[in-house]
């Protein structure tokens, strides 16, 4: 099984951030982001869903859909306590 196939399996079972996947597979997060881009197209008609990053302090939700990287700062309260976007496959 390739890493991409494994990621598809994992995300079909539970929500994970790119960083968590990078830790699981012991690779750079960039590689995971690359995998996710491909997975998005290869799993049709299933969908790769992304729960947006959110500020843990004030609850601000980051809306940019194209950014799958974790933002570093909240634009509203400037907190750096940000919950990374979570991915799942449905
Ligand atoms: Zn905030």
Q: How far is the CA of 20 from the centre of ligand 1 (A)?
A: 22
Amino acid 64: pLDDT: 65
Which residue range is the domain that position 50 belongs to?
3-89
Each residue of 24-83: pLDDT tens digit? 999 999 999 999 999 999 999 999 999 889 999 999 998 865 556 677 899 999 999 999
Average pLDDT over every residue of 8-37: 96
Q: Phi then psi for 56, rounded to 5 degrees?
A: -75, -15
* Angle between helical axes of 18-25 and 3-13 (0-180°, round to 10): 130
Q: What is the pLDDT of residue 63?
A: 80
| Cα-to-centroid distance, 19 and ligand 1 (Å) | 21
Whole-number Å distance, alpha carbon 40 to ligand 1 midpoint, is 29
- Contacts of 46 by beta carbon, 8 Å cutoff, 6+ apart: 12, 89, 90
pLDDT at residue 1 is higher than 80: yes
Report pTM.
0.82
Q: What is the count of structural domains for the chain?
A: 1
Q: 29 CA distance to ligand 1 centroid (A)?
A: 24
Does the pLDDT value for residue 19 go beyond 60? yes
The rounded Å distance from CA 80 to ligand 1 centre is 8
């Amino acid at each position: 099984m390739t890493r991409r196939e494994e990621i598809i399996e994992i995300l079909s079972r539970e929500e994970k951030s790119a960083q968590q996947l990078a830790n699981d597979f012991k690779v750079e997060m960039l590689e995971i982001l690359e995998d996710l881009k491909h997975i998005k197209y290869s799993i049709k008609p299933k969908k790769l869903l992304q729960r947006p990053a959110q500020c843990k302090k004030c609850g601000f939700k980051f809306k940019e859909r194209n950014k799958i990287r974790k933002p570093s700062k909240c634009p509203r309260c400037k907190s750096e306590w940000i919950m990374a976007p979570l991915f799942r496959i449905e």
